Structures are given as structure tokens and as C-alpha cells.
């Protein structure tokens, strides 16, 4: 396993428009390889309905799903979790009205 030292001030700049992890899964990995959700469900043990929710952006990719996806497809669990974290942070930018409590 490769460990990456993370700096607390580390930023992740997206060179491309941000897409949901489910969109990446569906379009870049499944459709690009002519794989179906049913095929992926059989290989990962994740139900078709759960995979459908992920691809629609209705459900997040958690660590367990990331491990299962990585066992079947090329990207690592860290890849899927990083996609999810970046997407979550970007969608929370609308919370800019929330301020840090002064210490």
C-alpha cells in the first residue's frame, strides 16, 4: 500500500469540471467497457439498486463500496474515496454562510 503524507492545508484543485463519483463510475468505467450494473453487482456483491443510486448521485461511495469496486476494476479504493470527498466538499461550498467559531 502506498501512503501519502497529507498536509492539513492541502487543496485538491480539479483540472476538469467536477462530476459525481457515480457519473464517473457509470460513464468512464462501465459504459466505456460495455459493462452493465447487473454485471458489476454480481462481481462486487453490491445490489443493482444500490449501484443505481450511486450512479444517480443519490448515494455516496463509502469505504466498503470503494474496496469492492477496487477488487473488480482498476482504480484503487483511495481513488473512489477521493472522488467522493472532492464531490462532497464542492457540493458543500453552498454552505459558505457558515463561519468558524472564534476560539
Q: Distance between CA 45 and CA 86 in Å, rounded?
A: 25
pTM (2 d.p.): 0.76
Per the CB < 8 A criterion, the answer to whether 42 and 35 are in contact is no
Average pLDDT of the chain is 85
Q: Distance between CA 65 and CA 69 in Å, rounded?
A: 6
Tens digit of pLDDT for each residue in 45-67? 999 999 999 999 999 999 999 99
Q: Residue ranges of the domains in the chain?
A: 21-91
Looking at domain 21-91, its CATH architecture is: Orthogonal Bundle (1.10)
Low-confidence ranges of the chain (pLDDT < 70): 1-16, 93-101, 103
Q: Distance between CA 49 and CA 22 in Å, rounded?
A: 13
Q: Distance between CA 37 and CA 22 in Å, rounded?
A: 12
Q: Distance between CA 55 and CA 52 in Å, rounded?
A: 5
Amino acid at each position: 500500500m502506498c501512503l501519502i503524507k497529507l498536509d492539513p492545508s492541502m487543496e485538491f484543485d480539479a483540472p476538469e469540471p467536477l462530476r459525481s463519483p457515480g457519473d464517473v463510475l457509470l460513464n468512464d468505467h462501465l459504459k466505456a467497457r460495455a459493462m452493465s450494473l447487473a454485471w458489476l453487482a454480481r462481481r462486487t456483491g453490491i445490489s443493482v439498486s444500490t449501484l443505481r443510486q450511486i450512479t444517480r448521485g443519490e448515494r455516496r461511495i463509502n469505504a466498503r463500496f470503494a474496496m469492492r469496486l477496487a477488487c473488480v476494476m482498476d482504480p484503487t479504493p483511495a481513488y473512489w474515496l477521493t472522488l467522493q470527498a472532492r464531490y462532497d466538499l464542492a457540493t458543500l461550498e453552498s454552505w459558505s454562510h457558515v463561519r468558524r467559531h472564534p476560539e
